[in-house]
Amino acid sequence: MGNDNYLEKENFKSLVEAAGKDRVQDRLNIIEVFLGTEEHITIDQICRLLTEEGYDYEPEFVRQCMNQMVDLGFAQKKQFEGQPICYEHRHLGRHHDHLICTKCGKIVEFANDDMERLQVQVATKHGFHMLQHRMDIYGLCAGCLAGRRALLPLALAKTGERVVIREIAGGRTARARLASMGLRTGDPVEVINNTGEGRIILGHDCTRLAIGRGLAQTIIVSLPDDGRGQDKESSEG
């Protein structure tokens, strides 16, 4: 790894010098710190690492230098939904995709040859010559999943989650309102949109429903995996 980083740094140096850029040593210090981390990091985080190493650069210079690394193929700029812009290494000849936890923001990298092959197949089938793609899978990481309660108010369910209504705790009025929308205990619903404020959009059978946040607090749901048997669909075929 260390040797890889040395070669990357030398490669960067010669390109920067050839481009006639100023502050070559400063840029080398920045790439050195960047190559030393395996994280997907923001400009602020890179600045913090630089400070820890005893360097004090203006964030604007760091940003400019990072973008130069992107242009020259040493770094990749990414923005995952709900997260700030970040940078990661770009290793020649190596590709990976990402799993992103929507709760804690954890990012996990993966590479799967079968999935890569399938994507080329799909593109080809549609007459496309595939040039690039990104596969971002959003969900809850193992840690966040383990920390979740089996039962929770609908107001806390995440966008994209499929849950089952277990109890309507809001008394007769709430039950009547939900019944008028066609929602009953035992019904499976899909959380189409829950931004954490305002109304929650649900998919129920073939209808989209907007539920006020207050009402959503009174609807107790369970996650599909607490029923265990729910994951029965086989993945064959």
Site residues (vs Zn ion, CB under 5 A): 88, 97, 101, 103-104, 106, 109, 135, 141, 144
Contact 100, 137 (CB under 8 A): yes
CB of 233 to Zn ion, least distance (A): 25
Alpha helices in the chain (DSSP H): 2-18, 24-35, 43-52, 59-72, 113-125, 142-146, 171-180, 213-217
Quick one: 133 or 208, whose CB is closer to Zn ion?
Answer: 133
CB of 107 to Zn ion, least distance (A): 7
CB of 148 to Zn ion, least distance (A): 10
Single out the residue of 209, 186, 192, 200 nearest to residue 154, CA to CA.
200
Quick one: 23 or 158, whose CB is closer to Zn ion?
Answer: 158
Q: Is 211 helix (H, G, I), strand (E, B) or coil?
A: strand
- For the chain, how long is the longest CA-to-CA vector? 75
CB of 113 to Zn ion, least distance (A): 10
Quick one: 144 or 181, whose CB is closer to Zn ion?
Answer: 144
Q: Beta strands 97-101 and 136-139: pairing type? A: parallel
Quick one: 36 or 214, whose CB is closer to Zn ion?
Answer: 36
Let me know if 218 is exposed, middle or buried by CB neighbors in 10 A (0-12, 13-18, 19+). buried
CB of 87 to Zn ion, least distance (A): 10
Quick one: 41 or 101, whose CB is closer to Zn ion?
Answer: 101
